[in-house]
Amino acid sequence: MSGAGANRMGPGGWTTLILAGVYFVVPLAMTAAFSLWEGGSTYGFEAYRLLLASADLPDALLLSMELALATVAALLLLLVPAMIFMNLYAPGLRPLFEFIATLPFVVPAIALVAGLTALFTGPEWLIGTPFYLVIPYFFLALPFAYRSLDVGLRAIDLTTLTEAGQSLGAGMGQIIRMVILPSLRAALVGSTLLTLAVVMGEFTFANVLLFRTFAVYMNQMGQHEATAAAALAVVSFLITWAAMLGVLIAGRGQTSIPGGH
Amino acid sequence: MATVEVNRVSKSFAGRQVLADLSLTMGEGELVCLLGPSGCGKTTLLRIIAGFIPPESGRVLVAGKDVTALSPSARRMGMVFQAYSLFPNMTALDNVRFGPRVAGRPKSEQIARAGQLLDLVGLSEHADKYPHQLSGGQQQRVALARALAVQPQVLLLDEPLSALDAKVRVQLREEIRRIQRETGVTTVLVTHDQEEALSISDRVAVMNEGRLLQVASPSTIYREPSCGFVARFIGSGAVLRGVAEGHSVRVANLALPASAAAAHVHGAAVEMFIRPENVRLQPMNGQLPPGAVGVEVRERTFLGSLTRIRLTLPGTDDQFSLWADLASEQAEAFIPGSRVVAQWDEAAPRVMPDADAGLRNG
Ligand SMILES: Nc1ncnc2c1ncn2[C@@H]1O[C@H](COP(=O)(O)OP(=O)(O)OP(=O)(O)O)[C@@H](O)[C@H]1O
Ligand SMILES: [Mg+2]
């Protein structure tokens, strides 16, 4: 079908496609080329060597990873049970869920930061540490995680599967563990990777709140080591692509190689 | 294997009564079909028996024990749903052993039992396939095996065949009947396919608007419908509204022979019901024989070996139709638009009091 679609595409379609390709590929290629520039007319991997040698990069990367994992855990622990419950027992609440899940798109990040700093009172263990960032990251990643889980839940007949499990003598816990979560594997992987990508790339919050995450580090480096920052950008692009590829492969696995064991 | 007793169950949704004081008793090992038009409350009744929804009033008893307050997982009832309900992350075998597995049976026993049941439904070779690798009919067989794996006291089937194509449906319904006989499990099957209900049940329960209209064996339901609704709903045939007059029913100034009318008060509003296989046709030549009715041929529907002919009573503006089933080669003589003679055995029509007459006149 998609083959037939491609054949039917007129010259206008091709022009658009090529222009879009140029639009995406040129900046990337220039960034990659710039990351290899060593001054004058010499090119090499000096910028990447510099990156690896940097003492601060592992710390920044580790911090971002920790934040990402904490955000994933918070999102999944809250969203999965809430969405299963909503679908089974309160489908009338769906519009409310949809509304909440799109709010972060509507409120600009900087407004969120302003709101957060106003809340600068709270327990010591949270406010003083970078894990304070999990709160805004939770809301930033919420729409993506929600959408991915929603697609997964719509693909299975949750009510019938639950009732089938109950009629076979299983309790709700057993049904969630043995049937629902395994059937949502692709959606769970998808929302995890999307959340990772969002958190790894987030700059505004971390910068304003003065934490040195991966994105902040990249920005600081760009101010004095422009080629190294470009190298970092290329690397983070590759990481994001790998994450997206992961989503695609997990999604494909759902239909062709059912998992579970 | 147990008796099931539904005792005066009522249920409303949002103020609308869906089940009205409904009672139904089933014997051990009996297969009862719940038959009725869409929205009449069949699924609701089944789900109340299964425990997924609580009745507003009334009780459900299984083997004499009140189970009304028990959760679905405590009721030991196998259920097969209309929608495909196999667990998508498990193979056919794992689906079937799910019940014994959550009950904590030893693994070897789970697998042995699941194997036997897959054998019973004829799917041993497909044990390692996932639901999406099975056809619709195969999935419903696995669902049946899975429901039986918990050795249920009662088996509840909610239109398990409605998503399948006609041929598979006929094959599978016979298989359900065979397996039900072999296992002897008391079974309720919901359907709105009357042929399905008549062909496999011990008794058919005809429902409309939350009430049971008649519960009887298939042949009784077919031959002696208790009211106009059951008559219209089961099989095909004409239900004509009229007035009892001795041994006939007067319909629009025609006296239609029906000896059963004598059981009604002269002048009472009745419904006369006659099946197409009881109506004989002859070409019109001269005088009408006594007890015959002149009718007009309206349309012919070819049904294979039989052809069904729709006839209308003269001078009634097409309001009153009857049907006659004829061998197809005979039917060719009766051309739409022509006048013909219809006759039937005086004892063939059923005559029932017209329940709605008061409503219509008042
Ligand atoms: N959860 C519910 N909330 C509100 N109304 C409901 C609910 N379940 C069923 N109903 C209503 O109750 C009536 C009976 O529904 P039920 O599903 O029992 O019908 P049915 O006989 O199974 O019909 P079908 O042949 O279409 O499956 C319908 O009018 C339906 O709209
Ligand atoms: Mg139904």
Is the pLDDT confidence value at B92 over 60?
yes
pLDDT tens digits along B298-310: 999 999 999 999 9
Residue A16, in any domain of the structure: no
Question: Can you list the pairs that A121-128 forms with residues at least 24 positions away whose Cβ atoms lie under 8 Å?
Answer: none
Q: Cβ(B47) to ligand 1 under 6 A? A: no
B213, B227 contact by CB (below 8 A): yes
Mean of pLDDT values over B41-68: 95
pLDDT tens digits along A203-249: 877 877 778 888 888 788 778 777 888 888 888 788 778 877 877 78
Is the pLDDT confidence value at A250 over 90?
no
The total number of structural domains that make up chain A? 1
Give the DSSP per-residue string, B181-216. HHHT-EEEEEES-HHHHHHH-SEEEEEETTEEEEEE
Q: Cβ(B51) to ligand 1 under 6 A? A: no
**Nearest ligand, CA of residue B81?**
2
pLDDT tens digits along A74-122: 999 999 999 999 999 999 999 999 998 888 888 776 777 777 776 666 6
Mean of pLDDT values over B187-208: 93
Mutation target to probe the B interface, by most B beta carbons within 10 A, among A157, A168, A188, A254 is A168
CA of B5 to the centre of ligand 2 (A): 20
Contacts of A257 in chain B (CB under 8 A): none
pLDDT tens digits along B314-342: 877 778 889 999 999 998 889 999 999 99
- Two tokens at B133? 């690798």
| % of chain B exceeding 90 in pLDDT | 78
Interchain contact B301–A (C-beta under 8 A)? no
> How many contacts, defined by CB atoms under 8 Å, are there between A and B?
79
Residue A43, in any domain of the structure: no
Contacts of B75 in chain A (CB under 8 A): 167
Task: Write phi, then psi, for A120 (nearest 5 degrees).
Answer: -75, 20
Residue A258, in any domain of the structure: no
Query: What's the pLDDT score for residue B131?
Result: 95
Q: Cβ(B315) to ligand 1 under 6 A? A: no
The span from the CA of A156 to the CA of A151, in Å, is 9
Cβ of B85 within 8 Å of Cβ of A163? The answer is yes
Query: What's the pLDDT score for residue A1?
Result: 41
Q: Tokens 């897959």 correspond to what residue?
A: B118
Q: Three-state SS across chain A?
A: CHHHHHHHCCHHHHHHHHHHHHHHHHHHHHHHHHHCECCCCCECCHHHHHHHHCCHHHHHHHHHHHHHHHHHHHHHHHHHHHHHHHHHHCHHHHHHHHHHHHHHHHCCHHHHHHHHHHCCCCCHHHHCCHHHHHHHHHHHHHHHHHHHHHHHHHHCCHHHHHHHHHHCCCCHHHHHHHHHHHHCHHHHHHHHHHHHHHHHHCCHHHHHCCCCCHHHHHHHHHHHCHHHHHHHHHHHHHHHHHHHHHHHHHHHHHHHCCCCC
**Nearest ligand, CA of residue B34?**
1
Q: Nearest-CA residue of chain A relative to B90?
A: A260
The span from the CA of B76 to the CA of B1, in Å, is 11
Mutate to test the pocket of ligand 1, among B10, B18, B190 (most ligand atoms within 8 A of CB): B18
Least confident of A161-165, A228-232, B94-98, B328-332: A228-232
Task: Write phi, then psi, for B93 (nearest 5 degrees).
Answer: -60, -45
Cβ of A165 within 8 Å of Cβ of B98? The answer is yes
CA angle centred on A250, ends A249 and A251, rounded to 5°: 90
Query: What's the pLDDT score for residue B228?
Result: 87
Mean of pLDDT values over A128-148: 86
Is the pLDDT confidence value at B141 over 90?
yes
Residue A107, in any domain of the structure: yes
Mutation target to probe the B interface, by most B beta carbons within 10 A, among A157, A160, A166, A167 is A167
Smallest CA separation from ligand 1 atom 26, residue: B38
Cβ of B130 within 8 Å of Cβ of A258? The answer is yes
Interchain contact B71–A (C-beta under 8 A)? yes
Which CATH number characterizes residue A244's domain?
Answer: 1.10.3720.10
pLDDT tens digits along A22-56: 888 888 888 888 888 887 788 888 888 877 777 78
CA-based Rg of chain A, rounded to a whole angstrom? 22
Cβ of A163 within 8 Å of Cβ of B83? The answer is no
Contacts of B158 in chain A (CB under 8 A): none
- pLDDT category at A64 given cuts 50, 70, 90 is confident
The span from the CA of A47 to the CA of A184, in Å, is 42
The one-character DSSP state at B74 is G
Query: What's the pLDDT score for residue A211?
Result: 80
Is the pLDDT confidence value at B155 over 70?
yes
Residue A164, in any domain of the structure: yes
Least confident of B13-22, B125-134, B269-278, B313-322: B313-322
Looking at the DSSP assignment, which residues form a beta bridge with residue B215?
A: B205
Residue range(s) defining the domain that contains residue A61: 55-253
Q: How many CB atoms lie within 10 A of CB B245?
A: 18
- pLDDT category at B219 given cuts 50, 70, 90 is very high
pLDDT, averaged across chain B: 92
Query: What's the pLDDT score for residue A21?
Result: 87
Residue A179, in any domain of the structure: yes
Q: Tokens 């019940």 correspond to what residue?
A: B99
Query: What's the pLDDT score for residue B361?
Result: 52
| % of chain B exceeding 70 in pLDDT | 98
The span from the CA of A27 to the CA of A31, in Å, is 6
Q: SS3 for B13?
A: strand
The span from the CA of B34 to the CA of B190, in Å, is 5
Interchain contact B70–A (C-beta under 8 A)? no
Helices (H), ranges, B285-356 = 328-331
How distant is the Cα of B326 from the closest Cα of chain A, in angstroms? 46
Residue A9, in any domain of the structure: no
Q: Cβ(B11) to ligand 1 under 6 A? A: no
Contacts of A182 in chain B (CB under 8 A): 89
Residue A195, in any domain of the structure: yes
